[in-house]
Structure 1
Amino acid sequence: MKKSIGRSSFILLCVAPAVILFTVFMILPTINVFRMSLFQRGAYSPGETFVGFDNFIYLINDAQFIRSMQNTILLIVVVTLITFCTALVFAAILTRENVKGQNFFRIVFYIPNILSIVVISGIFSAIYKPENGMLNSIIGLFTNMSNPILWKGEKLVMVSIIIAMVWQAVGYYLVMYMASMSSIPESLYESASLEGASRFTQFFQITIPLIWTNIRTTLTFFIISTINMAFLFVKSMTSGGPNGASEVALGYMYSQKDAGLFGYSMAIGVMIFLFSFALSALVNKVTKRDVLEY
């Protein structure tokens, strides 16, 4: 009896600091965001007026917010698809084809992930410069460029951000999938080859199903983290410009706070939170399948 009480006390003592910190710095601030979204308050004013759901009513009719959410969803969908497809294909090639220098390629692909977002944004901003950027300079070798391409103009700014985000993220997931694929027994592929299965068929019938748990977990985390990553890239590269063409939801939330609309910015924060939660639940539901063992 005494041993049981002592063990329970020890477990409680170990868990208590983490629970307290999580409550103080996560749970209570989240609850407070929901509360403040129901008030009208300036960013630096102690006074607040209860307005109920007026902030949310205004929000769903706010064209700028809708545009920022559209940009956020675009980045989530496109960056996720390109990143994961690229990571899976290159991981399969480097794992199955016995490419020499696998460790070298792992390091090279992983390097962008350890760089700061600000550094990556600076690199790509230099590449995209219309006058003497590397991209326009290379294109100029093959064609006459009297009018330089504006890679960060309204038409191409989202494409430019997508390229930078994919370049930063793909190496991390490539390394993770290489580790998962290397644990699949080679005998499975040999049996499939004897049955006449092509490399393409083996990839979709053996590789993908056997690492699906890893794909599903990383997919959920990546989709949610993309909301934050999109804000960091946009803030560093374009600050939401030009003319709001690259503005994302988190960036718009901060701009409203800076404009003194603190309660409204909290309402935007609540919408982003609910969107993230619903998206996470949807991804988990759609990607759920029986776990295959070997």
Structure 2
Amino acid sequence: MRQRKGRTAFIAICTLPAVILFIVFMIIPTINVFKMSLYKWGGFSNNKTFVGLNNFKLLFTDEKFYRSFQNSILLIVLVTIITMTLSLIFAAILSREKVKGQNFFRIIFYIPNILSVVVISAIFSAIYDPSQGLLNSILSIFRGADAKPILWLGNQQLVIYSLVIAMVWQAIGYYMVMYMASMTSVPESLYESANLEGSGRIHQFFHITLPLIWTNIRTTLTFFIISSINLSFLFVKAMTGGKPDGASEVFLSYMYGQAYTNSSYGYGMAIGVVVFLFSFSLAGLINFVTKRETLEF
């Protein structure tokens, strides 16, 4: 009995610091966000006015918020589909095919994940530069030297897709390495049996590889979708600042601008509450949609 109590006390002591940090830096700030969303407050004075749900009523009639929400959804969908698809394809090629220099390609693909978002944003801002950028320089070979340069970050129709390319380039290597680790654990005997039965590489990929690494795909998919919400904010702040005319604004950058630039802290926290609920709902939806029976080998 004493041994059990001693073990329980030891576990409690070991977990207490983590619990305290979680409460102080996660639970309390989250509660404060919900609380401040009910107030009209500039953020820099003691004058707080309780307005109830007025901030949310204003939010759902705000066209700029709806535009930033649409941009966020577009980024999440495009970046997720492209990143996950390419990561799986490259992982399958490097783990299943006989490619020289596999470790070299792993390192090359993983390097963007080591770099900070600011560095990656600076690289792509230079690539997209309308006058001296690499992309326009290459296109001028086909379009002619006198052709008008394309404003990749200054065009309302192109700016979101320019951000998509930067975000995919940053994330693809990390998930490729994770999927390669999962694929190497699949028994080779399964592929040998499939080869004897005349199954091709593509058929093996969809009927052997994907089902057996589905648990990893499901976990990384949920993680990536939620993290892309934060990444989109960082890329927007570093590359475009929401320009041109709010065409690249996402809901976190719009929240930041309302709370800390327009001195509408309460309204910004109302946006934060919506983002918080949206993130949790999206994570739950992804887990539900991707749920399937776990296969063992």
Fold conserved (TM > 0.5)?
Answer: yes
C-alpha distance in 2 between matches for 1:176 and 1:4: 39
Contact 2:87 2:179 survives alignment (8 Å): yes
- Which whole-Å deviations, capped at 9, do the CAs of 1:242-281 have from their partners, x for residues lacking one? 0000000000001101211010000000000000000000
Output the aligned Cα RMSD: 0.7
Count of aligned pairs: 294
SS in 2 for 1:203: helix
- Which whole-Å deviations, capped at 9, do the CAs of 1:57-112 have from their partners, x for residues lacking one? 11011000000010001100100000000000010011111211111000000000
TM-score, length of structure 2 as denominator length: 0.98
Q: Which amino acid aligns with 1:170?
A: I
C-alpha distance in 2 between matches for 1:143 and 1:245: 26
- 1:233 offset after TM fit, Å? 0.3
Unmatched 5+ stretches in structure 1: none
C-alpha distance in 2 between matches for 1:46 and 1:226: 35
> Hey, which bits of structure 1, 4+ residues long, moved more than 4 A?
none
SS in 1 for 2:186: coil
Q: Which residue of 2 aligns with 1:249?
A: 251
Q: Which residue of 2 aligns with 1:203?
A: 205
- Which whole-Å deviations, capped at 9, do the CAs of 1:204-247 have from their partners, x for residues lacking one? 00000000000000000000000000000010000000000000
Q: Which residue of 1 aligns with 2:228?
A: 226
C-alpha distance in 1 between matches for 2:292 and 2:46: 51
Q: Which residue of 2 aligns with 1:7?
A: 7
Q: Which residue of 1 aligns with 2:19?
A: 19
Superposition pairs of residues 1-294 of structure 1, within 5 angstroms: 1-144=1-144, 145-152=146-153, 153-257=155-259, 258-294=261-297
Q: Which amino acid aligns with 1:36?
A: M
Q: Which amino acid aligns with 1:147?
A: K
C-alpha distance in 1 between matches for 2:46 and 2:5: 47
- 1:25 offset after TM fit, Å? 0.7
C-alpha distance in 2 between matches for 1:211 and 1:62: 43
- Which whole-Å deviations, capped at 9, do the CAs of 1:164-223 have from their partners, x for residues lacking one? 000000000000101110111111011111112111110000000000000000000000
Unmatched 5+ stretches in structure 2: none
- Which whole-Å deviations, capped at 9, do the CAs of 1:23-81 have from their partners, x for residues lacking one? 01100110111011011111101121111111001101100000001000110010000
C-alpha distance in 2 between matches for 1:6 and 1:293: 38
- 1:143 offset after TM fit, Å? 2.3
C-alpha distance in 2 between matches for 1:185 and 1:98: 17
- 1:142 offset after TM fit, Å? 2.1
Q: Which amino acid aligns with 2:285?
A: L
Contact 2:140 2:147 survives alignment (8 Å): no
Q: Which amino acid aligns with 2:218?
A: R
C-alpha distance in 1 between matches for 2:207 and 2:147: 51
Q: Which amino acid aligns with 1:24?
A: V
C-alpha distance in 1 between matches for 2:194 and 2:74: 38
Contact 2:218 2:290 survives alignment (8 Å): yes
Identity of aligned residues (%): 65
C-alpha distance in 2 between matches for 1:142 and 1:69: 36
- Which whole-Å deviations, capped at 9, do the CAs of 1:148-168 have from their partners, x for residues lacking one? 111112121011000000000
Q: Which amino acid aligns with 2:123?
A: I
SS in 2 for 1:141: helix
SS in 1 for 2:147: coil
